[in-house]
Every structure is written in C-alpha cells, then in structure tokens.
Amino acid sequence: MTDMAIKTETRIPMSRIQKLIGQRMLESKQTKPCYYIGIKADTTELMDSRHELKKRLGVKITSNAFYIKALGLAVREFPLMVGSLQGDCSTGFQPVQTRPVHRTPYGGWPCYDTIKIADSINVGFAVSAPHGLVVPVVKEADKKSLAEIAVLEKELTDKARSNKLSLDEITGETIGLSNLGVYDIDSFIGIVPPPATTILAVGNTLRTAVPVNGKIVIRKITDLTIAVDSRVVPDPYAAKFLARIAELLQGPTQLIS
C-alpha cells in the first residue's frame, strides 16, 4: 500500500488591525464610485537633490517627504480634492448607490446635498508594520517646511513600526498617500481611505530613455496615479490636480523653499 500524504489546512488568525483595515477598505470600495488617472513625472532633479538637501537641511529627505509636501501644496490650489459629502435627508435627495454598507436611520441610502471642504490638509501615508498596515497622518502638510515633514515622517514611521502611535497621530486624514515604489512596483491603484476622497499612489522611479531637445537622454521617471471619488470631484479638475503634483515634483524648488 502506498502512503498517501495527508493534507492539512493552514489557518492564520487575523490581527485586530487587519480586520479593521479590511472592513474599512470594503466600505470604501462599496460606497465610493472612483475613477483613476495616471501621469509620469520626471523626478531626476528631485531625486538627485536629496544628498545636497541632507547636508543643507541637516535631515535625511525621503521620497515620501517630497510627495507629502507636493500633496499639501497642490491641494491648496485644488481644495475640492479634500472635499467630503455631507447630507440632510430632509431634502429628499437620495442618489443611487450600489450595495451600500450601511443604511441610514431613514431606511434608505445616505442622503447628500453638500460638499464640505476640509479645514486642513492632512496627509495619511501608508506604512507596512509587523502588525499590519498603519496610516499615520502628517497634519497641515501645506504649512510645514520640507525639513519639518521629513523629521515628522520618520518619527511617525518609526512609531508605526513599533506600534507606538497615539490616537491623534492616526486620525484626521483628509487625503491619502501610498508609495509602493520602494518595493520596486512600477505602478498601482490605491483604495481611497474611508475618510478621504483622494489617494495618490506612487510607483517606482525608473531610469528611462526619453527625447529631450532632439536627443535621447536617460531621466528618472516616476509613475503617479490617483483614485478619486467621482461624486465629489469632476475628472477634469482631478486631472489638473495630478498635473500640478507632477509639475511640483519636476521643478522641486517650491517644495524645498
């Protein structure tokens, strides 16, 4: 008789934070009808400036610090990107939604009649921690210098990975950032966080041959994609917003000042 291998199931218990993230992402996908827009930014000067900036500012500048600062400045010009739907069911306006997670106390779908612009530009950035994905928040990113953002981003990242973030440091997000370029992912599409309307997904920075003034040169090109709630932001408006982010990254003087 031939011995037969006995197959057994492997079950991995989910942590509390994994359950919470899964619930929040499902809620977002079911209630936010998003569209997706992509652009490529020439970040050669930006990436090449990091060593000099470290000497000048006295702090290491990560790529995330640039993206957080760019988001802060761009949102200041395009405030609808941090808008959120507000509702009053007494108006009787009930837009059609597909498979909503929650019904309202009125028994129908959520009622929206107003878009509220957030009071501050707070960038939540995804951090991979041993206990799951964590999203610390850099508050008032548009008002902070690049050096201040760099210091805070490192502090929050370290706290996230050691499970020491306070409640205040993980709440208040008004726009999201996810950077998988650090894992050599060329491009991807993020899921808009439940409290936000927009998330910027950053892919890898690749050395690419591009035509410049009639010649082929090697430049550092970064892939950027935004996911946006179509109920809040018209796509032409979002397209201009993403183009502005690319412009800021391609001419990083405004980010550094």
Domains along the chain with CATH numbers: 34-84+119-256 (3.30.559.10)
Beta bridge partners of 196: none
Reported as a single tens digit per residue, the pLDDT across 4-50 is: 566 778 988 888 878 888 898 899 999 999 999 999 999 999 999 99
Residue 39: how many CA atoms within 13 Å on its side-chain side? 19
If pLDDT is split at 50, 70 and 90, which confidence band does 197 have? Answer: very high
Rounded to the nearest angstrom, the gap between the alpha carbon of residue 234 and the centroid of all alpha carbons in its chain is 18
If pLDDT is split at 50, 70 and 90, which confidence band does 181 have? Answer: very high
If pLDDT is split at 50, 70 and 90, which confidence band does 107 have? Answer: very low
Please state the pTM of the whole predicted model.
Answer: 0.86
pLDDT at 92: 45
Question: Is pLDDT of 108 > 50?
Answer: no
Pairing verdict, β 137-138 and 175-179: unpaired
Alpha carbons 173 and 17: distance in angstroms, whole number: 17
Alpha carbons 20 and 131: distance in angstroms, whole number: 12
Task: Name the phi and psi angles at 141, rounded to 5.
Answer: -60, -30
Q: What is the DSSP letter of 13?
A: P
Q: Are the CB atoms for 146 and 155 separated by under 8 Å?
A: no
Q: Are the CB atoms for 48 and 218 separated by under 8 Å?
A: no
